[in-house]
Homo-oligomer: A and B are copies of this chain.
């Protein structure tokens, strides 16, 4: 494609992460540093993804980030500074009004570049929009820039955002293991970690395997069927070794028949009106272990801090997120379109990577699971190979600046 000249728009979509603003900062840096050599004039930010774009809720990012200080602050701000959405575009042909509206906005603002930072669903948006603009002869470069704490996108070695979530989990679980070790009374602590279909985040709880040997006693990922009897056997065996057993589980673990563990154990919360609501996986296992073993049990759900704990972000992750954003601007200005930026690992020790891009249709709507070699034979822990893959991604601490003891975040009103 010939080089396009015009304006650009960038949006954030899907669940927030601690690094998605670093990627946005990378796109902004790319434009302000003019890596596209004149291709992009003004960079607009769409508020709440395509949802806000359809309403022309745009901000001028060249102006907003004229000061370097603001970009730096943005890099350390968790969650999507532009706001996010969960809007999925209709299939082209089904409801063309949406696409016509988008096209008219592109024309109105002379937008020739579209950067969409997001996960699986966002790559679907990139693919559909690419198809539509191509079909309607509107020359435009449309790029997907990946982010997801789940690390479940294919082709890319890992996803921006994952390293920071993994670091939060790895560090927090180290602290929880210390906390659990203080009493002599037998007790089981179950830590529930995000991950509906892929166990990458839960695997990160075992990263100490490669560093200091301090890991949860047991780790269960959704990639392996959960066997109730084997589980109780495992817990009994662990309690024989020491009184304080720590177990990490993915929220998405299932029995062999496909039933989620949180459903299968039949634990529900009931209100005064008798309304039932399924409890979480950790809670279900807590009650199950209490009933079966009779010992002290508690469950801890790490919850949304997994995706927004900017205060313990991975330096490697933030740096990569910035460079992926910047590289997207460069690639697009060279005529690349309908591609997603990917991270290619060149070497693990020492850790080296480079940024590339790949056809988004190879990536959208697929899930990358934790491979079999990363899980031990019994299916109750990770392997050394897994820890080695994970380790470089949590390297370095990228703390925000603090003012009066609180982190300074950049907020777009």
Binding site for B on A (CB under 8 A): 12, 16, 48, 51, 77-80, 83-86, 167, 170-172, 174-176, 178-179, 181-184, 207-208, 210-212, 214, 265-273, 275, 277, 279, 283, 287-288, 291, 300-301, 303-305, 307-312, 314, 391, 394-397, 399, 402-409, 411
Contacts and interface: CB of A to CB of B under 8 A. Distances in A.
B300 A271 contact: no
A271 B265 contact: yes
Contact of A269 (B86, B283, B291, B312): B283
A12 to B, nearest CB: 8
A50 to B, nearest CB: 13
B78 A406 contact: no
B211 A404 contact: yes
Contacts of A311: 171, 175, 311-312
A175 B310 contact: yes
B182 A16 contact: yes
Nearest to A268: B270
In the A-B complex, the 10 residue pairs with the closest CB atoms: A266-B272, A394-B405, A179-B308, A79-B178, A84-B182, A175-B308, A79-B179, A80-B182, A211-B404, A271-B287
B267 A270 contact: yes
A403 B79 contact: no
25 contacts: A12-B182, A16-B182, A80-B182, A83-B182, A83-B184, A171-B311, A171-B407, A172-B309, A175-B308, A175-B309, A175-B311, A176-B304, A176-B305, A178-B308, A179-B308, A265-B272, A267-B269, A267-B271, A269-B270, A300-B305, A311-B311, A314-B405, A391-B405, A394-B405, A395-B405
A273 B291 CA distance: 9
A340 B54 CA distance: 64
Nearest to A396: B405
Given A272-B267, A303-B301, A312-B312, A405 B183 contact: no
A301 B302 CA distance: 8
A387 B391 CA distance: 39
A78 B301 CA distance: 19
Contacts of A409: 174, 178, 214
Contacts of A309: 172, 175
Given A212-B403, A269-B287, A300-B303, 5 more contacts: A83-B181, A171-B407, A175-B309, A178-B411, A214-B411
Contact of A85 (B178, B183, B314, B403): B183
